[in-house]
Amino acid sequence: MAGPSHRRNSVGVDIGGIVVGGGHPIVVQSMTNTDTADIEATFRQVAALARAGSELVRITVDRDEAAAAVPHIRDRLDRAGITVPLIGDFHYIGHKLLTDHPACAEALAKYRINPGNVGFKAKRDTQFATLIELAMRWNKPVRIGVNWGSLDEELLTRLMDENAQSANPVTAAAVQREAIIQSAIGSAERAEELGLGRDRIILSTKVSDVQHLIAVYQDLAARCDYALHLGLTEAGMGTKGVVASSAALGILLQQGIGDTVRISLTPEPGGDRTTEVRVAQELLQTMGFRQFIPVVAACPGCGRTTSSTFQTLAKEIQDHLSASMPEWKERYPGVEAMSVAVMGCIVNGPGESKHANIGISLPGTGETPAAPVFVDGKKVATLRGADVADQFKQMVADYIEKNYGKS
Ligand code: SF4
């Protein structure tokens, strides 16, 4: 399955060995929600996110204790063999924290700067300049991340006034989008004037409304060639966050816009932070941009499905493949991802199984209690008994080992 043939041209940015933009594969990233000053908790969450497939992980650096912890977190990760680059998220006092904590400045692979709160009005320009000079000193890229929740009020007020006096005024939402874009591009141009290379700058312009996000990124993408970080901010909890993020990012990605994605889900209480990584991977895989794991096709089930064996098996196969397979394209360049079919009855089961590399059709209501298995389009076995699921999982493992080497 191929992704859209056209991707917007952008300048590639190397973040600790992971290149964002410049035609490289779209990068999955995520962010911790631990107190960064808690070294152990942050180390554990970064490790979990990296193991789930996050290729960059951002951590909050909001005070001296957090900045002091960063090199220790990096050290713990290195000792555990986890190479994922860490990004520091700075607001208000980033210039001070990076100045006072050189080990933090060195340990981070990128600095995220919010131009809307880089300093209080009178000192904004000098503090922004200090941040850019620190990025140059430590040879680090930056993300200039504008967020409409912390937009530069002065800029917004000026554009609102200009719009009010215009002969052809536009909507307040359009003015707000323009302010977001001007803040991002203006800050990036200022960073370049200060000497930071174009290949050291990533932009993002996050809003929480799907239609506004699409409009703002379409405009931003047309007006510059900086690498772009996509994300719907405050996407929300559960299915709402998944659907809103997928709708917004899916449309932009289809238009060739976006070099790295973060799905900002609010975790359920006690929920798993790595869900946002899996959603990002599934979005990119569904759209044909990347292939992280083999594809499992499962029918939705219906009144013909006899038992929970079918759903359980589909989930177990998906989980097994997710956990055991590395990103497909890196391990098997040029090889189409393996497909596995898990079907609930003979109506569509054998047909779908024949299209997959390996597929099983479990017996539906009133059918003979037997499960035909197809490998590469040919029926090779009919499984019976209470352990059909285990038998099929073994066949999948054997297929992977025979065709691709040990998983
Ligand atoms: Fe229902 Fe069978 Fe279709 Fe699955 S394949 S949805 S069990 S009819």
State if residue 349 touches ligand 1 by the CB under 6 angstroms criterion.
yes
State if residue 344 touches ligand 1 by the CB under 6 angstroms criterion.
yes
Residue 293: pLDDT band with limits 50, 70, 90: confident
Burial class (CB in 10 A: 0-12, 13-18, 19+), 377: exposed
The per-residue pLDDT for range 312-369, each reduced to its tens digit, is 888 888 887 777 666 776 677 777 778 899 998 888 899 999 999 999 998 888 878 8
User: How many A from CA of 256 to the centre of ligand 1?
Assistant: 36
State if residue 359 touches ligand 1 by the CB under 6 angstroms criterion.
no
User: How many A from CA of 323 to the centre of ligand 1?
Assistant: 27
CA pair distance 150, 145, nearest whole angstrom: 10
Amino acid code (one letter) for 135: A
User: How many A from CA of 362 to the centre of ligand 1?
Assistant: 10
ipTM of the complex as predicted = 0.98
Burial class (CB in 10 A: 0-12, 13-18, 19+), 90: buried
Question: Which residue shows structure tokens 């493992």?
Answer: 397
Question: Which residue shows structure tokens 């096709």?
Answer: 297
Is 352 annotated as ligand-binding? yes
Average pLDDT of the residues in 36-43:
98
pLDDT at 175 over 90: yes
State if residue 348 touches ligand 1 by the CB under 6 angstroms criterion.
yes
pLDDT at 407 over 80: no
CA pair distance 383, 313, nearest whole angstrom: 14
Question: Ramachandran region of residue 120, left (φ > 0), alpha (ψ -120 to 50) or beta?
Answer: beta
State if residue 180 touches ligand 1 by the CB under 6 angstroms criterion.
no
Average pLDDT of the residues in 198-206:
97
Please tell me the predicted confidence (pLDDT) of residue 120.
63
Percent of the chain at pLDDT > 70 equals 95
Of all protein residues, whose CA lies closest to atom 8 belonging to ligand 1? 347
State if residue 304 touches ligand 1 by the CB under 6 angstroms criterion.
yes
Please tell me the predicted confidence (pLDDT) of residue 5.
66
CA pair distance 401, 407, nearest whole angstrom: 7
Residue 158: pLDDT band with limits 50, 70, 90: very high
